Structure 1
Amino acid sequence: MEEEKTHKHKVAYLDPARIHQTEHSFKLTEKVKEHLKAAKTKKQKDEIKKESHKKERHNVSAYIAKVMLKRVEKKYIMAPYGFDNHWIAILIMPKLERAVVPDSADYDQKQYMEFIGILQNVYRLSVMKGGPHPPDRKEIMNIRYQFYMPTIPKTNCRLDKGDIDGICADLARFIQREICHVAGKYFDHGGVLALDEHENLSNLTKEN
């Protein structure tokens, strides 16, 4: 039934964890540290960092391209993108050669321009491989920024400290009882918490 619902809609979704800003940022891994240590000049070190960063961007690009080519029947692809403690939902329309960035906070687009560059590159490669695109076969996606998003008046969504504490308590209780506890509805029996070393967490009294 859930599978039928998934295929019924015209939208495909990118995994936010796979496209988050941290996924395509430079990472100082142990391997990179070794290469930097062996480098003799600043130019060599800069080149190592550049190549490492390029590899991270490529990994994200490869994932997005895979989704776009696998879901060619979808009219829209939603990309929930997180950066600098903020989230935006980028709506990609490959068949129309467009993408829309709804952002009620109106963040400066320079703060997520690297990801936009990744999307442009992926779209260009998708067109080259026969992915969905307009008949005139342009290879540059039109990105629309500052798309109007209605905001909720602050007076309608104001929470006092008691409300916030209550929400946090309910959320913590749900995580403890239903996700972390072995008898919880959403406990992952094949995950990290199922390991013996985490038994003190997974077998914590559920009523606590």
Structure 2
Amino acid sequence: MQSWTSDEVPKEYEYGKPFLPFNLMCELPWPMRLMHEWYLTASELGLGMITVHVSEDAFKDGPNANFAFTFKDLHAFFKMDKMDINLVGTWCLEHYILFLVYPTDQTIVVLDPADYGKDAYMEFLCLLNLAHGRYKKRGGYVKNPSREKLYIRGRWPCYKQPSLTNLCGYYVCEMLRVNGRYKTEFTDLLSIPYSGSQFDQKTLINLCVDLCRFIRRDICNHLGEFYDPHSELATDPKFKNLREWEREHDVD
């Protein structure tokens, strides 16, 4: 998808122009084609961006604010380019390393798609050890009271991002999908065999399908959980068909 050449569409993003030539678009899954059709209709009507409403109970640590992403962001992942889209940026600005802390087991599991060594995040591990020491002093239960430091399970088998690529956002999305539910025991975590630890084209396409479906159903849809009732999409009468798009097109 990244090597196509065509006079039908510009190579770089231009507002209102198709993301891909028609023949390539026809090869994509239906949810992606439907998202592209929504974008073309929205750009014809003059919609500038999509805003996302974050509910007040989404995070515990402070007030939540709406955020926006542009059609240029959509263009990026349709071409499998760097996913700078704010939907991913809220979870991870660039590379992610996930630390799963199990205080009673005195264990930290490190999920790192770039496979760095411990030295790369040693300062953070020191902070976790200090926090766990305070947890024990306050009466927190541990299975082995004689152990002084947390046991680090590094290089846990997970999807590993190939070097010299800029697809970290896709790896974040897949990590959240695979390990989205809280696990009380680190032994319950799914492990990815190293032989299949990098995304193939089908996996990347499936991630884009899920994200397109989420944007349409939950953000742009007037009944969606993350629909912003104060946005341009919601308040301008000319966008009525866009916000009620799912009534006629919800077949995926």
Band the TM-score falls in, shorter-chain normalisation:
0.3 to 0.5
Larger % of helix: which? 1
TM-score by length of 1: 0.42
Larger % of strand: which? 1
Tell me which of the two structures has the higher relative contact order, counting C-alpha pairs closer than 8 angstroms and 6 or more residues apart. 2
TM-score by length of 2: 0.36
